[in-house]
Chain A
Amino acid sequence: MSQKQFREVIREAIGEEMERDENVFIMGEEVAEYNGAYKATQGLLDRFGSKRVIDTPISELGFSGLGVGAAMNGLRPIVEFMTFNFAVVGIDQIINNAAKIRHMSGGQVKIPIVFRGPNGSAGQLGATHSVAYESLYAHFPGLITIHPSEPYDAKGLLKAAIRNDNPVIFLESEQMYGMKQEVPDEEYVLPIGQAEVKREGSDVTVVADGKMYHVAKQAADQLAKDGVEVELIDPRTIKPYDIETVIKSVKKTNRCVVVNESHPFAGVAGEVGFLIQREAFDYLDAPVQRVTIPDVPSPFSKKLFDAWLPGPKQVIDAVNTVTYRN
């Protein structure tokens, strides 16, 4: 085991998979010569050469389509978006081609492609550069959506994503690239679609993905001091969603708060809340609560931004609501 940063394990996962399968290649803005906008691809150009580590022009629609075409022809592209905010420009290729070609060809053509890059807000970046897309991509059948919160999960799941024969949306975070965790030195792959109970508790289930996992974790630590034991679940994969793990926990705790960085309407948190009431109705002692960003774009002002992005306080408030502590 050794301490590794999020960006290091992303690099390792890509490197290992490129070693393992020569069909794997990576392209995107600044991935090669500049070693990646966030240094996730540092050193890969030197190791694998410019045929497999490709700098693209600023043309998301173009290189997304290029990736889909390469995948149709048997290669396994990794397409890096400098942020998923820019992927919106290429989203036709993702939603209409990558996600649907296998379906439309009656299963004849597989699309083994990974679209990856940072997702969600990262401080004062303004409304158009602060969007969390996990709910949007999870909406479309044909796409796998992964939203890890910690380096260990990120490495194992990225390797699984590269090996998967379906298009995968792999969501990272600018604010998590420097985050460190003990990661095994030997190779490992994690199953897609499996949540993990990262903290056991008996009073309330809190489900939180990506960056919000860390917010929920802080809330859980604070609540533990007040005697409230939170069972904290990291779904890790948004789609397919491991609802079984959540239901099992809710049947134990009878209360649930879902924390997610998307907007509330038609978001992941709403869907999870729905599934809980359908699968565990008789076990609920309170309506499921969710904590999300509000139904407004990100503000730029520091004060407004801090009020906009949920923090531990919002999670604690929601936990207090479902446990009838306020």
Chain B
Amino acid sequence: MATIIDMPKLSDTMEEGTIAKWNIKEGDKVEAGDIVAEVETDKATMDLEAFDGGTVLKIFVKEGDAVPLGEKLAILGEEGEDISDLEGGGSDAGGSDEKKSDDKAEEEDSGEKSEKADSGEEKDSDKDEESDKDEDSAEKKGSDNKGDEKAGKEEESGDADAGKSDENGRVKASPLARKIAKEKGIDLSKVSGSGPHGRIIKADVEDFKEEAPADKPSTEKPAADKASAEKADLPKPSVTGASMREDEDIKVSQMRKTIGKRLAESKFTSPHFYETIDMDMKKAMEVRSALNEVSDVKISFNDLVVKACAVALRQHPWINASWKGDVVRLHGDVNVAVAVAIDEGLLTPVIRHADQKGLRDISIETKDFAAKARDKKLQPEDWEGSTFTISNLGMFGIEEFTAIINPPNAAILAVGAIRDVPVVEDGQVVPGKRMKVTLSSDHRVIDGAKAAEFLNTVRKLIENPASMLL
């Protein structure tokens, strides 16, 4: 009995995966538990395990191809087994089929030229056979299932034919829809199809509205012309600005896609507001030095911030919350995500129960996550389930910044650098150590005063780290 390996959901936000590497080829023997491929998801590169053993009968997807969830990747079974009924959607079959009909089309063309009329017709009808399968199957559907079993089979293969196209990146659209799209200048790849197999039909194109009209500068143009006319009198710059480097298009990775999608969704749907608070870091620095004298792992300022936030979150449940449409969920656990920058983007591994963990544990966990993130070894369970997020750019000398809320959190804390600043103490200007943090809050969940209370708690904890021990 042949089984299909399809694209599994390897993370909670994953919509498609890219086969980074196949460890198998057609004809290979595979045992249950073997790692058959490496799949690049939106977050990490993960191993794809075979659940069943067998011989690899068919591989549908090339390395580097992005595949939606649930799409067939490969078929395992017994050697020589007939898998034609499982093969629907196979890219190979699709490719060769298309080629064949192309060849035939050529033949037909020359036939029609030399013989014209009648004999041309005959050749046409010859070619018609190919498409007849499709038509027949559709017809069986249309005219009741009164056909024999053979017709039923044809239906399947007909469907498979239709299904193959999107693997080649082809947009399925009715000829009429294509024509209308061309006339209106609509990019069909942006239109979603409501017909069978996602076929774009007339109604879809007619209802389609471009999100932003591309050509708005019509009003600006005259002004620009005017400006350039004025400039004509000015002396020419000595450097003409010949381009030093060609433009480069980098394919958007799964991770970038996810970052783009999730953060755009967050910024566009949750109303952000920002509150910044400046805190005195003198004591925190002393405590950190003292701790690091005795600790076997080095405690960072970020670890202190994580701990302070975790403790504060326990006291301010409305910050440790999520907007759920009908309800606001106040999370029982305090799970603090820490944004980790890597070359391809960023990841947010989660320190679970951070309020219950000591600084040492927090520090070890954070370091471990950072290393895993850079090696793309983070697993879904590492980044799922956060209730609050901290993003720290202090090490880059950033004084303060605003972060976009990491859904489904209701808030994110942006941590700036510790600065040497003159401060007034007892009427005297003295050297001080200050750090600014900015809380971005989802106004649907959190109001200004609540955010301010939370920030004050965090500030007090950081300014008197010993209170975290309470």
Contacts and interface: CB of A to CB of B under 8 A. Distances in A.
B138 A289 contact: yes
Interface string B149-178: 011000000000000000000000011111
Size class of B's contact patch?
20 to 34
A321 B141 contact: yes
A321 B141 CA distance: 8
Nearest to A257: B142
Contacts of B146: 294, 307-308, 314
B218 interface: no
Interface in A245-296: 254, 257, 264-265, 270-271, 273-274, 277-278, 281-292, 294-296
B142 A321 contact: yes
A292 B143 contact: yes
Contacts of B147: 294-295
Nearest to A318: B142
B174 A278 contact: no
Interface stretch (B127-135, B396-404, B454-462): B127-135
A51 B148 CA distance: 50
A68 B189 CA distance: 62
Interface size class of A (residues with CB under 8 A): 35 or more
Contacts of A281: 175
Interface stretch (B32-40, B194-202, B423-431): B194-202
B148 A270 contact: no
B193 to A, nearest CB: 10
A286 B204 CA distance: 13
B128 A282 contact: no
Contacts of A291: 139, 142-143
Contacts of A278: 124
Given A294-B147, A324-B195, A285 B202 contact: yes
Contacts of B138: 287, 289, 321
B137 to A, nearest CB: 10
B204 to A, nearest CB: 10
A49 interface: no
Contact of B128 (A274, A292, A314, A322): A274
Interface in A285-326: 285-292, 294-296, 307-308, 310, 313-315, 317-318, 320-322, 324
Interface of A: 141, 254, 257, 264-265, 270-271, 273-274, 277-278, 281-292, 294-296, 307-308, 310, 313-315, 317-318, 320-322, 324
8 contacts: A257-B142, A282-B175, A283-B179, A287-B135, A294-B151, A296-B148, A317-B141, A318-B143
Given A254-B176, A264-B136, A295-B148, 13 more contacts: A273-B135, A274-B128, A282-B179, A284-B175, A285-B202, A289-B142, A292-B143, A294-B151, A307-B146, A321-B141, A321-B142, A322-B142, A324-B201
